[in-house]
Amino acid sequence: MSLFDYEQKRVIAMTKPIREEAMAKLFSQEDQHVIKTTLCVADLGCASGPNTLTVVSELIITSEKIRHERSTAELEYQVYLNDLPGNDFGGVFISLPRLFQEVNEQAGLKSDQCFVAGVPGSFYGRLFPRQSLHFVHSSYSLYWLSQVPEGVEANKRNIYLTSTSPTCVVKAYKDQFQKDTTVFLKSRSKELVKGGQMVLTYWGRATEDPTSTESTFFWDMFSAVLNQLISEEIIEEEKVEAFNLPIYHPSSTEVAEEVGKEGSFVINTVNVSQVNVDGEENGMSTIAKRGEPPSRLMRSVVESVFASHFGTAVIDEIFERYSRVIEDFMSRQRILLTNVTISVTKK
């Protein structure tokens, strides 16, 4: 699922040096045979928006640049695009000629050097055969957990963590994050070759407190809307109390800790950066309704989750109100997205 196409584009640009360094590391492995004739790259949680193929084409261009500098033999590229089975793979497949054109032009590839396959399935589990990947990338997908944590009934009218969430709820979310991350790392550990590289960007958090507004803001605003709807008797209190989102925004420390505990990877870099979700930077300064773009984008991210719980009838109402709440907030304060990027090498 994609988030904030424009902001994500900026995140992709900001984290590019980390991926370039990782690619250089892949080529510098002591074992010269790490990459044989084909470099296999996987993008996990590829979604189907305008940014789907950006990182993939950038990675191939980077690889070709390094290969030329080192005058190593010609390579072929196998790209695996992964997302859940319900993802619009058809849309991605139709847009592939753009990828081929881009990498052929910019990296000087021939027409038969780059191959793309779609891989449906959850990255919280195996997706690829043993030692079949050289480079794994994932951006803004890993904040989705595999399920709503168990034991979060006490979270009441909140739909994610917030400053009023009881300690047991915070622990349940954190436990689920740790459990999922371990499964993720164990799976990738089997799939990557020794010396293989993995760069993951989380929609994360800059503080150590999982309930700090900075990371929970977008969800708190939904809680505010849902509570309005309860008070107006448009939806039932029980419905909201039974609703919690399967997401988690980790800090860089939490991510690094899980990688350390799992033990299959060496950490090369952990990076925290922030981008401003701002109408002005977004070229939206002249648009009165600055809350609309974030609302529209959040809708693309979570509409299905909301619809399956609250029903489709109330969905327009939720996102219209959300737009107004966000707009009000943006007129007073900046909204930041925190990116936690970790770059690791398979031991």
Single out the segment in contact with a copy of itself by CB under 8 A; choices: 12-20, 90-98, 221-229, 275-283: 90-98
Pick the closer one to a copy of itself by CB: 193 or 229.
193
Contact 79, 115 (CB under 8 A): yes
Single out the segment in contact with a copy of itself by CB under 8 A; choices: 53-61, 70-78, 157-165, 212-220: 70-78
Contact 275, 333 (CB under 8 A): no
Binds a copy of itself (CB under 8 A): choice among 94, 267, 287, 313? 94
Contact 266, 347 (CB under 8 A): yes
Contact 275, 11 (CB under 8 A): yes
Distances (CA, A) of 136 to 18, 87, 144, 279: 13, 19, 17, 33
Could you say whether residue 89 binds a copy of itself (CB under 8 A)?
yes
How many residues sit close enough to a copy of itself to count as binding (CB under 8 A)? 30
Single out the segment in contact with a copy of itself by CB under 8 A; choices: 52-60, 73-81, 141-149, 175-183: 73-81
Contact 196, 26 (CB under 8 A): yes
Pick the closer one to a copy of itself by CB: 93 or 217.
93
Could you say whether residue 135 binds a copy of itself (CB under 8 A)?
no
One character per residue 189-228, x = contact with a copy of itself (rule: CB under 8 A): ----------------------------------------
Tell me the β-bridge partners of 197: 135, 345
Could you say whether residue 23 binds a copy of itself (CB under 8 A)?
no
Tokens of residue 336, six digits: 């930041």
CA 232 vs. chain centroid, Å, equals 35
Binds a copy of itself (CB under 8 A): choice among 28, 68, 90, 261? 90
Contact 315, 303 (CB under 8 A): yes
CB of 113 to a copy of itself, least distance (A): 9
Could you say whether residue 128 binds a copy of itself (CB under 8 A)?
yes
Could you say whether residue 183 binds a copy of itself (CB under 8 A)?
no
Beta-carbon contacts of 296 under 8 Å, excluding residues fewer than 6 positions away, are: 319, 323
Q: What is the spatial distance between Cα 261 and Cα 259, in angstroms, rounded to a whole number?
A: 6
Pick the closer one to a copy of itself by CB: 5 or 76.
76
Q: How many CB atoms lie within 10 A of CB 347?
A: 12
Binds a copy of itself (CB under 8 A): choice among 126, 174, 309, 324? 126
Pick the closer one to a copy of itself by CB: 35 or 235.
35
* Nearest-10 crossing angle of helices 292-310, 213-231: 60
Could you say whether residue 125 binds a copy of itself (CB under 8 A)?
yes
> What does the radius of gyration of the chain's CA atoms come to, in whole angstroms?
21
341 sits in which H/E element: strand 335-346
Binds a copy of itself (CB under 8 A): choice among 4, 27, 80, 319? 80
CB of 3 to a copy of itself, least distance (A): 22
Could you say whether residue 85 binds a copy of itself (CB under 8 A)?
yes
Could you say whether residue 304 binds a copy of itself (CB under 8 A)?
no
Could you say whether residue 132 binds a copy of itself (CB under 8 A)?
yes
Could you say whether residue 286 binds a copy of itself (CB under 8 A)?
no
Distances (CA, A) of 273 to 13, 254, 255, 269: 12, 16, 15, 13
Could you say whether residue 278 binds a copy of itself (CB under 8 A)?
no
CB of 78 to a copy of itself, least distance (A): 5
Contact 119, 24 (CB under 8 A): no
Tell me the β-bridge partners of 192: 133
Tokens of residue 320, six digits: 């219209």
Residues contributing to the site for a copy of itself (CB under 8 A): 37-38, 76-78, 80, 85-86, 88-90, 93-94, 96, 112, 115-121, 125-132
